[in-house]
């Protein structure tokens, strides 16, 4: 009996009263296989769609469930993924991959005839899954109050997810069999990969059965596979399993070992969830994964090797206990394991959200209005909207264009969709450009290595194509109904690149180049030495600043074919090197100045103000000489927003720099010199952010000074992390038993009690307790050192003073 069976009754009863349910079920519970099939067989729902985040898992689950029904795939059990559809009129349970579900919702927001949508392995938090769930929740709210949604995962952040979904949670027990844990500490973390072959060998010597070895990527799989050849006995087969393999190779990898033999499956995190490989009772976990991280500065998604979270490690270990008791060998110490993050960072917080912003617009809303568990940053949204304008998917008001709809309907990444659509439209003017675009996209998708000069690489693939390149090329030539050309029209290559990567057009700056998005990148030592402008296809390396592939930009041709990229503007900016204003008429592509000439109009007040605003935005508030004096004001305003968010707006420096035109610009009309700007009364402008009533309120809850019993007004020092601090002579607070309260008691006040010579004697947040306890020791010492000062036996009722005894 599978663990999920024990909570099946509870789950179905929850659906009787709720349309959304959260299911937490660790690996091996049967949530991906037994549960949807049982819901189908019990006729609880007429038609079910189950989202599987990984293609390999989706395919295997679909075939397994069809076999359980004694049917071929495509009857009651269906499968729909890119380039693979098995459905019929009899299909009632449909397994789909992420992008497919989003498209189904876009095409039919009511999800006609669908009764239940299941989100399996939701803890992986892919961008597509977050998008699909947001759309499904809106469908449920706006169109289908009868639509049921089941969110399932092995490792949920239960309380947070439950709060977001406002639904009941059902929890199931985990794996059917225990999994022992063995840790293999590392002397040198940098040499983790070199340690893996020895760990695999050790595990196979100590344990029986087959093994599943988790590695971050294909390069590491290849290395370990080669190292194991001479280490393992002849009765052990070593196979690889990763997402880019063809279906037949994947099926061979997950098939059980032949009778009398053992198997070692070297895999990526593609095997982490919803996949059972028969005979596996050993998991050997490198603790690493390959993760894509979007660099918002360069607009490049970089692949990095990172440590996995604890939840992912638990998922991986669960593979060993699916069919019998097993063991997991973890590379690294137990202490290292405990220091890992609890969960992986959701893709929406670390990836390019351009597809999501486009999806939201097609859905008819803005991304900030979608019910998302995590909201992307405003900077990420701004970057995505800027790119979509360059791709002509959005107009200047960020409204969806007719071309934007076609890009969305094209069914591939927005950059590539724009390139292929526009290249097809340009074919009559630029013969051969559409075929060239197919060659370019085939090169990007096949990831075939070549020369840094893009033209050379494409010509090489035209003459002697790699197998992977040919496969991708044929797909696109067939889809666009283009015949293979007799020669490549490489004279249009920079236009093709610009159609996909307008933000990667670059202008020479010193020894490198600056991108249209403003980021600086490094050139290749042997290429483009005399080029003033480049069209860059691929970037990477350290901070995404290394040019991997590019070609020289044909600027006149680009201006002729893509005039929307060229913006004419009048610019006024302060030249710090020359200490004067620069006033020019420019033609720009993003941050690239293509052409500039002096402006024949005088600098007006508005232009000069905007120049000052740009300068402040560049240097921050530290540009002002008064900044050290206003730091405490900013800290108080930030604390006020933290404790009273309904009354006070966010006013940290980042927020202030974003809204300079609102609060600073009105004060700059008469400022004509840099020295004037630096001496500007910053405190006055900052105070103006608050109404008179809020200024008074700020003084009440976070006073600049506190009046102590002696009559002195003592300045309070505030900090963003930790208590506020009041440094005062001890004699001045005699008679004070209750520590003053800030923010209605929400912010602690630390009192630093000083000697007559202003030296610290005591730190306390509880004056009454100090007077009754530690004060006696202080009194004894101070009487001898400062005999002229007043040191009463009971300071809690004594008169406070800032004078010596003779003048009291």
> Residues 303, 291: contact at Cβ < 8 Å?
yes
Position 237 scores a pLDDT of 86
Look up residue 118 and give its two tokens. Answer: 């299941």
- Name which of 52-56, 119-123, 570-574 the model is least confident about: 570-574
* Helices 55-68, 34-41: crossing angle, 10 deg rounding: 40
Distance CA(77)–CA(91), nearest Å, equals: 6
Burial class (CB in 10 A: 0-12, 13-18, 19+), 788: exposed
The set of residues, in sequence order, having a beta carbon less than 8 Å from that of 283 and lying 6+ positions away, is: 179, 211, 212, 213, 214, 316, 317, 319, 320, 326, 327, 328, 329
Confidence of residue 24 (pLDDT cuts 50, 70, 90): confident
**pLDDT tens, 756-778?**
988 999 999 999 999 999 889 88
Whether residue 329 has pLDDT greater than 80: yes
Cβ atoms of 117 and 110 within 8 Å: the answer is: no
- Nearest 5°: phi and psi at 788? -80, -10
Tens-place pLDDT, residues 226-284: 998 888 888 888 888 887 777 777 777 777 888 888 888 898 877 666 566 777 888 99
Q: Give the residue ranges of DSSP H helices in 69-216.
A: 98-107, 127-142, 158-165, 192-206
Q: Return the residue matching tokens 């506020």.
A: 724
Stretch 59-87: mean pLDDT: 90
* Calpha distance 124→54 (Å, rounded): 10
Q: What was the pLDDT predicted at 271?
A: 65
Average pLDDT over residues 644-657: 85
Please state the φ and ψ torsions of residue 594, each to the nearest 5 degrees.
Answer: -85, -40
Query: Quick one: which of 581, 586, 568 has its CA closest to 614?
Result: 581
Contact between 271 and 283 (Cβ < 8 Å):
no
pLDDT at 596: 84
Comparing CA positions, the residue from 594, 591, 611, 595 lying closest to residue 603 is 611
Residues 6+ apart with CB under 8 A from 271: 56, 212, 214, 241, 254, 265, 277, 319
CA 620/CA 527 separation, integer angstroms: 37
- Phi first, then psi, for residue 241 (nearest 5°) are -145, 115
Report the alpha-carbon distance of residue 633 to residue 639 in Å, rounded. Answer: 10
Please report the pLDDT score of residue 371 as a whole number: 92
Give Cβ neighbours of residue 745 (< 8 Å, ≥ 6 apart).
Answer: none
Give per-residue pLDDT as tens, 637-650: 999 999 998 899 88
Q: Where are the alpha helices (H) located in 305-353, listed in sequence order?
A: 310-318, 334-339
Q: Are 140 and 20 in contact (CB under 8 A)?
A: yes
24 Cβ partners below 8 Å, 6+ apart?
152, 153, 154, 156, 158, 169, 170, 171, 172
- As a whole number of angstroms, the distance between CA 74 and CA 47 comes to 14
Token pair, residue 242, equals 């990763």
Rounded CA-CA distance 121/153 in Å is 4
Report the largest interatomic distance among the alpha carbons of the chain, rounded to a whole angstrom.
Answer: 108
- 94-103 pLDDT, tens per residue? 999 888 899 9
Q: Alpha helices of 644-772 — where are they, by DSSP H?
A: 653-658, 660-663, 674-678, 682-687, 692-701, 767-772
Mode of pairing for the β-strands spanning 326-331 and 280-285:
parallel
Q: What is the mean pLDDT of residues 365-390?
A: 91
Pick the most confident of 442-456, 615-629, 661-675: 442-456
Asked if residue 572 lies in contact with residue 581, where contact means CB atoms within 8 angstroms, the answer is yes
Would the pLDDT of 27 be above 90?
no
The pairing of strands 749-754 and 760-764 is: antiparallel
Give the per-residue pLDDT at 156.
60
CA 361 – CA 527 distance, rounded (Å): 41
CB of 254 closer than 8 Å to CB of 265: yes
End-to-end CA distance of the chain: 87
Q: Is the pLDDT of residue 541 over 80?
A: no
- Say how far apart CA 254 and CA 241 lie, in whole Å: 8
Q: How far apart are CA 522 and CA 520, in angstroms?
A: 7
Residue 472, pLDDT > 80, answer: yes
Where in the chain are the domains?
A: 3-171, 179-345, 412-561, 621-700, 703-807
CA angle 175, 180, 184 (to 5 degrees): 130
Q: Residue 110 in contact with residue 143, Cβ under 8 Å?
A: yes
Would residue 310 be called left, alpha or beta, if left means φ above 0 and alpha means ψ between -120 and 50 degrees?
alpha
CA dihedral 524, 526, 531, 534 (to 10 degrees): -30
Express the helix, strand and coil content of the chain in percent, nearest 5 each.
Answer: 40, 20, 35
Contacts of 529 (CB under 8 A, 6+ apart): none
Where b means 16+ CB within 10 Å and e means fewer, 62-72 reads: bbebbeeeeee
* pLDDT tens for each residue of 174-208: 666 788 899 999 888 888 999 999 999 998 999 98
The CATH T-level fold of domain 179-345 is Rossmann fold (3.40.50)
- 589's enclosing H/E stretch is strand 580-589
- Cβ atoms of 740 and 730 within 8 Å: the answer is no
Question: What integer is the mean pLDDT of 20-32?
Answer: 83
- Mean pLDDT (the chain) is 88
Position with higher pLDDT, 579 vs 493: 493
Q: What average pLDDT does the segment 599-625 reach?
A: 84
Task: State the Cα torsion 477-479-481-482 to the nearest 10°.
Answer: -20
pLDDT band of 443, cuts 50, 70, 90: very high
Distance (Å) of CA 29 to CA 65, 152, 241, 244: 16, 11, 24, 28
Beta-bridge partner residues of 305 = 290
Q: What are the C-alpha distances in Å from 483 to residues 200, 467, 470, 478?
A: 50, 18, 14, 8
Check if the beta carbon of residue 437 is closer than 8 Å to that of residue 501.
no
Cα–Cα dist 129/125, whole Å:
6
What is the share, in percent, of the chain residues with pLDDT greater than 70? 98
Distances (CA, A) of 269 to 190, 211, 319, 355, 453: 21, 15, 11, 23, 34
Q: Which has the closest alpha carbon to 414: 388, 389, 437, 440?
A: 388
Percent with pLDDT over 90 in the chain = 40
- Structure confidence at residue 494 as a pLDDT band (50, 70, 90): very high
CA quadruple 730, 734, 737, 739: dihedral sign: negative
Residue 542's pLDDT is 74
Q: Would you say 790 and 801 are in contact if contact means Cβ atoms under 8 Å apart?
A: yes
In the structure, what pLDDT confidence band is assigned to residue 502 with cuts at 50, 70 and 90?
A: very high
Residues 425-433 have a mean pLDDT of 94
Q: For 3-171, give the CATH class.
A: alpha beta
d(C-alpha 104, C-alpha 320), whole Å = 36
Measured between alpha carbons, how far is 278 from 324 in angstroms, rounded to an integer? 10
Asked if residue 177 lies in contact with residue 28, where contact means CB atoms within 8 angstroms, the answer is yes
pLDDT at res. 462: 92
Mean pLDDT confidence for 47-52: 93
Return phi, psi of residue 423, to 5°: -65, -40
Residue 167 CA to residue 699 CA, distance in Å, equals 43
Please check whether the two domains, 3-171 and 179-345, share a CATH topology.
yes
Q: Check residue 275 and give its pLDDT.
A: 64
If residue 749 lies in a helix (H) or strand (E), which one and from where to where? strand 749-754
**Contacts for 60 with CB less than 8 Å, ≥ 6 apart:** 254, 274, 275
DSSP H helices, 489-563, are 493-500, 555-561
Token pair belonging to 14: 């929850």
């Amino acid at each position: 009996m599978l663990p999920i069976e024990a909570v099946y009754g509870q789950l179905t009863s929850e659906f009787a009263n709720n349309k959304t349910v959260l299911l937490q079920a660790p690996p091996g519970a049967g949530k991906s296989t037994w549960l949807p099939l049982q819901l189908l067989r019990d006729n609880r729902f007429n038609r079910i769609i189950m989202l599987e985040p990984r293609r390999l898992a989706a395919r295997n689950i679909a075939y397994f469930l069809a076999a359980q029904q004694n049917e071929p795939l495509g009857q009651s059990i269906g499968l729909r993924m890119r380039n693979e559809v098995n459905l019929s009129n009899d299909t009632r349970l449909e397994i789909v991959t992420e992008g497919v579900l989003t498209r189904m919702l876009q095409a039919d927001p009511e999800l006609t005839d669908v009764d239940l949508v299941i989100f399996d392995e939701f803890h992986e938090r892919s961008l597509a899954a977050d998008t699909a769930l947001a759309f499904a929740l809106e469908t449920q709210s706006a169109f289908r109050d009868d639509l049921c949604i089941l969110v399932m995962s092995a490792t949920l952040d239960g309380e947070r997810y439950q709060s977001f979904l406002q639904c009941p949670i059902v929890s199931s027990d985990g794996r059917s069999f225990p999994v022992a844990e063995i840790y293999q500490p590392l002397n040198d973390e940098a040499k983790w990969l070199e340690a893996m072959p020895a760990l695999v060998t050790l595990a196979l010597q100590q344990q029986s059965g087959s093994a599943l070895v988790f590695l971050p990527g294909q390069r590491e799989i290849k290395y370990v596979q080669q190292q194991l050849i001479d280490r393992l006995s002849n009765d052990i087969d070593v196979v690889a399993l990763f997402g880019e393999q063809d279906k037949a190779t994947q099926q061979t990898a997950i098939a059980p070992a032949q009778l009398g033999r053992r198997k070692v499956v070297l895999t990526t995190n593609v095997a982490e969830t919803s996949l059972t490989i028969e005979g596996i009772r050993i998991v050997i976990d490198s603790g690493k994964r390959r993760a894509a991280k979007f660099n918002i500065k360069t607009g490049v998604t970089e692949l990095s090797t990172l440590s996995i979270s604890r939840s992912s490690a638990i998922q991986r270990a669960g593979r060993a206990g699916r069919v019998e008791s097993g063991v997991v060998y973890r590379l690294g110490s137990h202490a290292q394991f405990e220091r890992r993050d609890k969960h992986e960072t959701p893709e929406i917080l670390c990836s390019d959200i351009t597809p999501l912003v486009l999806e939201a617009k097609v859905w008819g809303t803005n991304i900030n209005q979608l019910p998302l568990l995590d909201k992307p940053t405003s900077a990420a949204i701004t970057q995505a909207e800027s790119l979509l304008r360059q791709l002509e998917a959005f107009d200047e008001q960020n409204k969806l264009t007719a071309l934007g709809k076609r890009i969305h309907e094209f069914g591939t990444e927005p950059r590539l969709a724009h390139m292929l659509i526009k290249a097809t439209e340009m074919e009559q003017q630029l013969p051969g450009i559409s075929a060239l675009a197919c060659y370019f996209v085939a090169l990007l998708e096949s990831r075939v290595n070549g020369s840094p000069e893009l033209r050379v690489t494409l010509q090489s693939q035209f003459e002697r194509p790699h197998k992977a390149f040919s496969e991708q090329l044929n797909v696109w030539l067939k889809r666009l109904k283009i015949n293979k050309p007799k020669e490549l029209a490489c004279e249009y290559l920079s236009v093709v690149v610009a159609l996909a990567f307008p933000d990667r057009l670059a202008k020479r700056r010193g020894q490198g180049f600056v991108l249209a998005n403003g980021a600086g990148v490094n050139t290749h030592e042997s290429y483009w030495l005399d080029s003033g402008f480049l069209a860059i296809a691929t970037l990477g390396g350290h901070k995404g600043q290394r040019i991997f592939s590019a070609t020289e930009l044909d600027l006149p041709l680009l201006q002729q074919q893509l005039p929307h990229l060229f913006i004419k503007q009048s610019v006024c900016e302060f030249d710090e090197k020359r200490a004067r204003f620069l006033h020019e008429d420019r033609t720009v592509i993003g941050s690239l100045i293509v052409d500039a000439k002096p402006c024949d109009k005088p600098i007006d007040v508005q232009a000069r103000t905007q120049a000052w605003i740009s300068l402040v935005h560049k240097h921050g508030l530290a540009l002002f000489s008064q900044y050290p004096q206003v730091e405490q004001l900013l800290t108080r305003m930030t604390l006020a927003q933290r404790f009273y968010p309904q009354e006070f707006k966010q006013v940290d420096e980042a927020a202030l720099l974003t809204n300079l035109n609102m609060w600073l610009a009105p004060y700059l009309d008469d400022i004509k010199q840099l020295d004037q700007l630096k001496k500007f009364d910053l405190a006055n402008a900052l105070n103006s952010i608050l109404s008179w009533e809020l200024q008074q309120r700020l003084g009440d809850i976070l006073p600049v000074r506190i009046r102590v019993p002696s009559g002195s007004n003592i300045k309070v020092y505030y900090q963003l992390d930790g208590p506020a601090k009041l440094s005062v002579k001890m004699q001045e607070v005699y008679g004070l038993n209750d520590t003053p309260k800030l923010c209605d008691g929400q912010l602690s006040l630390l009192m630093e009690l000083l000697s007559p010579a202003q030296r610290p004697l005591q730190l306390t947040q509880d004056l009454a307790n100090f007077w009754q306890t530690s004060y006696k020791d202080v009194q004894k010492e101070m009487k001898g050192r400062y005999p002229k000062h007043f040191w009463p036996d009971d300071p809690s009722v004594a008169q406070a003073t800032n004078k010596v005894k003779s003048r009291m």
